[in-house]
Structure 1
Amino acid sequence: MADIHLHQVHKRFDDFVAVRDSTFDIKDGEFFVMLGPSGCGKTTTLRMIAGLELPTSGQILLDGEEVTHNPASQRDIAFVFQLFALYPHMNVRKNIGFPLVSQGTPRGEIKQRVEETARLLRIDHLLDSRVSGLSSGDRQRVALGRAIVRRPKAFLMDEPLGALDAEFRELMCEELRLLHNRIGATTVYVTHDQIEAMSMADRIAVMNQAEVLQIGPPAEVYARPATLFVANFIGSPAMNFLEGEGGLPSGAAAVRVKGGEIAVPRLHEELKAKRAVVGVRPEHISIREDGALRGSVFGVEYMGTRQLVTVDTEAGRLKVRAPNTLRVSDGENVSLSFNASRLVVFDGETEAAVRSDLYSEAAHG
């Protein structure tokens, strides 16, 4: 397989910038997910890696070789689309083997590789079936098989599970990750679904408005978001945000908000902005008698072993992930306590996270 390197890759369509000066590496054998809302530039980036779009400027390297202006046919890459793009007049065997037929591979080798691939995907019993009669999950496996059988340097997948229902999508997430582990492929996967990204990725690149905002392992992106957008986009429910005061000095370990003061990880830089924003995940708030903020319960959602409690405070409406043993009811006055070591302070003007002890912890493992 191969590593992939993008350096200052930029793509413009007339006056519209689809991808702005992206630079990042995808490691050999890595499952790399590009995550973001529709129109953020993730699919355009994937198409440039594939050679289906040429960048306006910048460089793309595949396995150390520059392929920036090479057409797709000259890049050893397999592409899997959301729509399966199978040949309906062919059976499963012929669909999977078609790329090898096009390359002039000997018939005996085609048969062997198609059967090996079908066994890997657990569709060997369907080899002589017509694709038109298959379920969505099996058709997606056939599309994957057609990509795998070539043994390319990298697999590029553009929302391949988007057409499946929720149950199949969850199953295929597990199977795709297991398949990746078995074949050791370099995989670049595009999705707008954070659950897919968090469950499958070795690393995630979060994109918005043509820019890559943060790249890192799922746990790091979740716990230490680089921007307000990343913090809000990752997590279900999203991170809570409290408006605080600006002008915080370096070394500050608390932020004043309406209704109280919130302890935060010690800041490593001065915040000169007029507005600070404190971000806190629902699981880092607890309902206790001696909390920093008081509020009124707006609603309670039962979620099995946990419950999601919505609390209205002077600083805003907050979501709290609480144990299901906690008994609270709508309208009840409660006190909220915050896990200070897990909170993130953002610059309200630039929307970037302020360096703090929380981010130093990441740097030192």
Structure 2
Amino acid sequence: MAEIRLEEVRKTFGDFTAVRGSSFTIRDGEFFVMLGPSGCGKTTTLRMIAGLELPTSGRILLDGEDVTWKRGSERDIAFVFQLFALYPHMSVRRNINFPLRIAGLPRREVKARTEEVAAMLRIEHLLDRSVGGLAAGDRQRVALGRAIVRRAKAFLMDEPLGALDAEFRDVMCEELRVLHNRVGATTVYVTHDQVEAMAMADRICVMNHAEVLQIATPTEIYDHPATRFVANFIGSPSMNFLPAEGHLPAGATALRVKGVSIAVPATTAPLSAEAVLGARPEHIRIVEEGALRGRVFGVEYMGSRQLVTVDTEAGRLRVRAPNTVRVADGETIGLDFITERLSVFDAATDRSVTIRGAAHG
């Protein structure tokens, strides 16, 4: 398989900048997910790696070889599209082995590799069926099979589960990860769905407005977001944000929210503007005498947990609490914060300034 390295890769279309100086390395055998909203540059980056788009500047290296200006057919990369791109007049077997037949491999090898991949994807019984009558999940497996059968250096996938319903997506997320572990291939996967990214990735690259904001493991992305956008984009519900009062010096271990002092992890540097406190719903506790008080707006029961919406002077907060905590709509409650799990952001730059949040890059 192969390592993929991007060095200051930039892509513009006229006056529009689609990718702004991206530099990162995708490790050999890694499941690397590019995550972000529509138009953030993730698919354009994937297409440049594939050779379907040429960068305006920068370099792309595949397994140490500079492939920046090579055609996609010269890069030994397999691509899986969102809409499958299957040949409807061909059987499943012929769709899967099409790349091998085009390459002129011996019939015996074509047959063996096709059946091996079909068994891996559990579609052996469909090999002689037409793809036209298959369910969406089976068509997706055929598209994956056609990519895998090539034994390419890397697999690139552009929202391959986007056309499936929620139930099929959950199943295919698990199957894709298991398949990746079996094949051991370098995989670059593009999605706007944070649940897919968190479920499958070894590392996630979060993009927005043509820029890479953070590259880290799912745990690091969730626990140590580098920016407010990352903190807001990852997690359901997303992180709560509370505006703090005044400017914080470097090393500050507390801030004030509506006159209430809240302990926070030490800050790395003086803030250029006021601070913003970030707290995940599960990092806020409902207590009798809390630092911050508010009125319960609503309660959603979710099995062993409940999601409590609380209106405070600092704004509306979402709190994830055990269902053993009894609260009712309209009740005034106290809130406390788990200090070591909080984030502090600079309001001017939106970047994290918490020491424990340094897992970035």
What is the identity, as a one-letter code, of the residue corresponding to 1:90? M
What is the identity, as a one-letter code, of the residue corresponding to 1:278? L
Whole-Å Cα distance in 1 between the matches of residues 332 and 144 of structure 2?
A: 54
Q: What is aligned with 1:120?
A: 120
Aligned pair partner of 2:357 in 336, 343, 359: 359
1:324-357 CA distance string (max 9 Å, x none): 111111110000010011111000001010142x
Unaligned runs of 5+ in 1: none
What is the identity, as a one-letter code, of the residue corresponding to 1:326? V
> What SS is found at the alignment partner of 1:151?
coil
Alignment of 1:4-19 (within 5 A): 4-19=4-19
Q: What is aligned with 1:320?
A: 319
Whole-Å Cα distance in 1 between the matches of residues 320 and 233 of structure 2?
A: 18
Q: What is aligned with 1:282?
A: 281
How far off is 1:260 after superposition? 1.2
Does the Cα contact within 8 Å between 1:246 and 1:272 map onto a contact in 2? no
> What SS is found at the alignment partner of 1:238?
coil
Does the Cα contact within 8 Å between 1:259 and 1:294 map onto a contact in 2? no
> What SS is found at the alignment partner of 2:244?
strand
What is the identity, as a one-letter code, of the residue corresponding to 2:106? P
Q: What is aligned with 1:162?
A: 162
Q: What is aligned with 2:238?
A: 238
> What SS is found at the alignment partner of 1:19?
strand
Whole-Å Cα distance in 2 between the matches of residues 29 and 226 of structure 1?
A: 25
What is the identity, as a one-letter code, of the residue corresponding to 1:149? V
| 1:171–1:46 Cα change, 3 Å | same
Whole-Å Cα distance in 1 between the matches of residues 131 and 270 of structure 2?
A: 61
Q: What is aligned with 2:29?
A: 29
> What SS is found at the alignment partner of 1:141?
helix
Alignment of 1:249-288 (within 5 A): 249-273=249-273, 275-288=274-287
Does the Cα contact within 8 Å between 1:255 and 1:262 map onto a contact in 2? yes
Q: What is aligned with 2:339?
A: 340
Q: Which runs of 4+ in 1 moved over 6 A?
A: none
Whole-Å Cα distance in 2 between the matches of residues 197 and 213 of structure 1?
A: 15
Whole-Å Cα distance in 2 between the matches of residues 182 and 37 of structure 1?
A: 30
Whole-Å Cα distance in 1 between the matches of residues 210 and 125 of structure 2?
A: 44
> What SS is found at the alignment partner of 1:287?
strand
How far off is 1:245 after superposition? 2.2
How far off is 1:259 after superposition? 4.5
What is the identity, as a one-letter code, of the residue corresponding to 1:302? Y
- Tell me the matched-pair count: 360
> What SS is found at the alignment partner of 2:229?
helix
Please state if 1:108 is matched with 2:111: no
Whole-Å Cα distance in 2 between the matches of residues 190 and 28 of structure 1?
A: 17
Whole-Å Cα distance in 2 between the matches of residues 60 and 355 of structure 1?
A: 33
How far off is 1:249 after superposition? 1.1
TM-score between both structures, scaled by the size of structure 2: 0.98
Does the Cα contact within 8 Å between 1:259 and 1:315 map onto a contact in 2? no
Does the Cα contact within 8 Å between 1:246 and 1:271 map onto a contact in 2? no
Unaligned runs of 5+ in 2: none
Does the Cα contact within 8 Å between 2:265 and 2:354 map onto a contact in 1? no
How far off is 1:227 after superposition? 0.4
Does the Cα contact within 8 Å between 2:245 and 2:258 map onto a contact in 1? no
| 1:143–1:2 Cα change, 3 Å | same
Whole-Å Cα distance in 2 between the matches of residues 252 and 128 of structure 1?
A: 67
Does the Cα contact within 8 Å between 1:10 and 1:56 map onto a contact in 2? yes
How far off is 1:246 after superposition? 3.5
- The percentage of aligned residue pairs carrying the same residue is 72
How far off is 1:267 after superposition? 1.6
Over the aligned positions, Cα root-mean-square deviation in angstroms equals 1.0
TM-score between both structures, scaled by the size of structure 1: 0.97
Please state if 1:151 is matched with 2:158: no
> What SS is found at the alignment partner of 1:18?
strand
1:61-120 CA distance string (max 9 Å, x none): 000000000010100000000001100110000000000011011111100000000000
What is the identity, as a one-letter code, of the residue corresponding to 2:302? M
Whole-Å Cα distance in 2 between the matches of residues 272 and 204 of structure 1?
A: 28
How far off is 1:250 after superposition? 1.4
1:123-167 CA distance string (max 9 Å, x none): 011100110111100000000000000000000000000000000
What is the identity, as a one-letter code, of the residue corresponding to 1:211? E
How far off is 1:258 after superposition? 1.1
> What SS is found at the alignment partner of 1:181?
helix
